[in-house]
Amino acid sequence: MTNTSAGRRPGELFFVLVMLVFSVGAFWQAYAISGFSGKTTPGVFPMLASGVMVISGLVILVNVARMPAPAADAPSFFADILTLRHIVLIGFVVGYVLVMPSLGFVISSALFLYCAFQFLWRKNPVLMLGLTAVTLAIIYLVFREVFQVVLPQGTLLQGYF
C-alpha cells in the first residue's frame, strides 16, 4: 500500500519496477511450461498467477509513477530501507546459496541459521546453537519426511548427511 498523502517513498519506484520485471520473468517461465496449448495443461495455473502479478505490478507502477517524487530532505534509500542489517542478511543468503551445492542442505542451513540468529539476536552462542539445531530439525522433518523433498547432499561431504 502506498502513502499517497506524502508522495513517493525513497526507492519505491525502483522497487516497483524490479517487482514488475520479476513478474514478467515469472510469466515467461510459466509460459515455457506448456504455452497456451490448452485449458488443462500444467502451465495454466502458473500463467494465471504470474499474469495477475504482471497486471497488479502495472497498476501499482502507474499509481506510484503519478505520485510526487520524494522530498529533497527525505531519508535516502540506503538510510531508510537498505540498512547495513539488510545488507548483511542478504550476504548471508547469497553465501547460503553459494555453499549449498558443495556442503549440502543440512550443513549450509545450519551455518546460515546460526550466523543469522547470532547476528540478529547477539545472545549466548550456545543458546543460538541449540536454537539452530531445533529449527533445523523441524525444517528437515517437515521437508524430508512430511513433504518427501529430496534435499541436496552436496558434493564435498556426499553420503555423510
Q: Are 50 and 27 in contact (CB under 8 A)?
A: yes
pLDDT on residue 38:
73
- Helix H segments across 35-83? 44-66, 77-80
pLDDT value for 12: 87
- Asked whether residue 4 carries a pLDDT value surpassing 60, the answer given is no
- Give pLDDT tens digits for 74-131: 677 777 777 889 999 999 999 999 999 999 999 999 999 999 999 999 999 999 999 9
Distance CA 148, CA 88 (A): 32
Q: Grade residue 2 by pLDDT with cuts at 50, 70 and 90.
A: very low
Instruction: Tell me the pTM.
Output: 0.64
**pLDDT at residue 148 greater than cutoff 50:** yes
At residue 70, the pLDDT reads 79
Note the pLDDT of residue 159: 60
* pLDDT at residue 41 in the model: 77
Q: Report the chain's mean pLDDT, rounded to a whole number.
A: 88
> Residue 139 pLDDT > 50, yes or no?
yes
Residue-level pLDDT at 42:
78
Rounded Cα distance between 68 and 120, Å, is: 35
Instruction: Tell me which residue of 55, 48, 46 sits closest to 20, measured CA to CA.
Output: 55
